[in-house]
A and B are shown apart, each in its own frame.
Chain A
Amino acid sequence: MRGRRSLPRWAEIGLIPVVNVAIAFLFAALVVLAIGANPLAAVRILIYGAFGYPDAIGYTLYYTTNFIFTGLAVALAFHAGLFNIGGEGQAYIGGLGVGLVMLAFDTTLAAPLLIGLAILTGAAFGAAWAAVPAYLQAYRGSHIVITTIMFNFIAAAVMVYLLVNVLIAPGSMTPETREFATTAQLPFIHELLALAGITMASSPLNVSIFLALACCVFVWAFLWHTPWGFELRAVGHNIQVAAYAGIKLRRVTILAMCLSGALAGLVGVNEIAGVHHRIILNFPAGYGFGGIAVALMGRNHPVGVMLASLLFGALYQGGAELAFEIPAITKEMVVVIQGLVILFSGALANMPRPWLARLFSALPRRARTPVAGEA
């Protein structure tokens, strides 16, 4: 607390997170060096791969969509003082929900109704997958980190079983369902733009990005402009206030986790309804854990999450390009970067603070800037 007074507000909100991420990338560069590649060349390829050509931007934004969902999920839970590591599993089961609706109704319901139902079901399934760990934490004190990780493993096993034995498309050799009818497929952005006469290279980017942005607004409004968000943030800061203030701690815990799971479940809308148009294996592909990095980098605020998601989307897309150009760097490099970001933006977030404070006190004083301490 004491250290916070010595840094101006803009440094609190903007500078420290940037420094954290910069340190993370510095270490990433060291790893790249260690495996014998050139970090600067890697960065160039990365940026080019993410934004340099027409399809690239589309792909980047498509990845960004998923990170927004999982990043919001982790951020919202963090505000309640809970660490939701179950994003992978919740996304997986959310996708199952989306897919089941599509498989059941894609020939009988009209597109808007179908898609609306799928979104709700995806969210509901994701919420349900988070509900059991939430209940166990709230009522039995079971550590939510361990239970959500266990549920990730369980989700993976359940999905494999379902896709291999139950939902598999008849006559198929790969474990996946049949393709959905076109009413069940979310329009791609490049298709929509084409209708308006704009040509954009094709990419998996689809309308679920608007859903992601809407979720950002929803989370912002929920946390800071509703009484339930107020209660959630209060107990996230200080559990003991709950009893005094008449806040039902268990209910808030379960609400927070279920909303979090629902947000993660919406990854299924993007992946299943928006891109693959069938249920496939392993589509969560690390977005759940990426969400942790995104939330920490974005300081658990929807705006920060959006920016951080964009960065990670670029990393994913650029990383694919990188793996293509420099075979020594595989897609696991992105996992390493995620880990470094979580380390430096999460556990070591305050490490640069003393250095920055010294830097600022050495600078000549300007006119009164509002000192940090404002809520």
Chain B
Amino acid sequence: MDDWFVFIVLILSATLRVATPLILCALGALFCERSGLIDIGLEGKMLAAAFISAATASVIGSAVTGLIAGILIAQLLALLHGFACITHRGNQVVSGVAINILAAGLTIVFGIAWFKQGGQTPSLPPEARFMPIEWPGASALRNVRVVGPLYANLVSGHNLIVYATLLAVPLVQWIVKSTRFGLRLRAVGEAPLAVDAAGISVTWLRYRAVLICGLMTGIAGTYLSIAQNAAFSRDMTAGQGFIALAALIFGKWQPLPVFGSCLMFGLFDAVAVRLQGVHVAGLGEIPVQFIQVLPYVLTVVLLAGFIGSAVAPKAIGVPYEKEH
């Protein structure tokens, strides 16, 4: 019985770790999409941030510097997206795809040029990473029934970014629901004309949304390379940016449901990893590709089953032009 409990706690703990980049990306995209801009480029921003933060941390030796660098590059790409879509009213999907492809190419081109390791960055020592933080008394309590594993594995032992992400969720909820900025943000995604007529700058609102998205995807990318792992490797985002987008849609663009769907993806992934190599009666060993493919299949299934009831912000995807 105890073993099962520990097993479940470990899975939940893994869920948090896996879900963190998804939550960050999805919440960032929430701001962007609620303001009326489609953001397909989460993947690219996250990848670029992962690379730059790992590269910076490797050269300078500080995780925080890496984080700042990761955030800056993601915001730069976010501004590019804003420039194309807000200022030049370009096709938002195309812009996002362009950013993804650019990031995929540039991270490797610069990675090879700077570090000559085939696209990887050098392995980082613990000082240059966000290491798990042990809460006081965690190891002492570890063997206490129920409370011990919960405290030691689920509450304690995560890195700073995971905790920050958990705090970010209620913060985002509060910003969207209870601040002036949140009101205007929601308005501009539903009726930009109303916002413009009220004398508020649609452009500035959307740029701010885009910058927030850059901030959060930057943190997500940094997490991938210098918190969850110890270096950047090629294409390490592996589609998580798109999964975050699916979670956003499944969560109907509301912060708490989005948080829930990200956790669900994380849980799924955590369980799937443990199924690797396991024999299923009658079918033999579960192939590793099956495990790898599950999150993508789940994304498709989600989008297929529930999109009918999810209503996107009304003005999404339509570049704003002053009506004459």
Residues in A lying within 8 Å of B, measured CB to CB: 31, 34-36, 83, 85, 132-133, 136, 140-143, 145-147, 149-151, 153-154, 157-158, 160-161, 165, 289, 292, 296, 328-330, 332-340, 342-343, 346-351
Contact = CB atoms under 8 A, between A and B. Distances in A.
B179 interface: no
Contact of B304 (A85, A140, A157, A338): A140
B289 A158 contact: yes
A292 B96 CA distance: 13
B94 A342 contact: yes
Contact of A347 (B95, B246, B300, B304): B95
A343 B95 contact: yes
B293 A153 contact: yes
A335 B104 contact: yes
Contact of B108 (A132, A146, A332, A343): A332
Contacts of B307: 140-143
A328 B116 CA distance: 9
B106 A31 contact: yes
Given A349-B90, A350-B88, A350-B90, A142 B303 contact: yes
B101 A348 contact: no
B303 A147 contact: yes
B109 A336 contact: yes
B105 A161 contact: no
B94 A296 contact: yes
A330 B106 contact: no
Contacts of B105: 332-339
A351 B242 contact: no
B97 interface: yes
A256 to B, nearest CB: 16
B297 interface: yes
Interface string B79-101: 01001110011111111011111
A34 B293 CA distance: 37
Contacts of A330: 108-109, 112
Number of contact residues on B: which range applies?
A: 35 or more
A339 B304 contact: no
B234 to A, nearest CB: 9
B136 interface: no
B174 interface: no
Contacts of B239: 149-150, 153
Contacts of A329: 109
B106 A336 contact: yes
Contacts of B173: none
B95 A339 contact: no
A142 B83 CA distance: 27
A54 B208 CA distance: 54
Interface of B: 40, 80, 83-85, 88-95, 97-106, 108-110, 112-113, 119, 238-239, 242, 245-246, 249, 287, 289-290, 292-293, 296-297, 299-300, 303-305, 307-308
Given A142-B300, A147-B300, A338-B105, 10 more contacts: A35-B113, A136-B300, A140-B305, A147-B303, A149-B239, A150-B242, A153-B239, A289-B101, A332-B119, A351-B88
A339 B296 contact: no
18 contacts: A136-B304, A145-B40, A149-B239, A154-B296, A154-B297, A157-B296, A296-B94, A328-B113, A333-B105, A335-B105, A335-B108, A340-B98, A342-B94, A343-B99, A347-B88, A347-B94, A347-B98, A350-B88
Contacts of B40: 145-146
Contacts of A146: 40, 242, 245-246, 299, 303
Contacts of B296: 150-151, 153-154, 157
Nearest to A147: B300
Given A141-B307, A145-B93, A150 B299 contact: yes
Contacts of B101: 289, 292, 335, 338-339, 342
**3 shortest interchain CB distances as A-B pairs:** A335-B105, A339-B102, A336-B105
Contacts of B119: 332
* Most chain A beta-carbon contacts within 10 A, residue among B85, B90, B308: B90
Contacts of B91: 346-347
Contacts of A337: 105
A136 B104 CA distance: 28
A336 B94 contact: no
Contacts of A349: 90
A120 B261 CA distance: 41
Contacts of B108: 330, 332, 335
Nearest to A296: B94
A165 B296 CA distance: 21
A343 B84 contact: yes
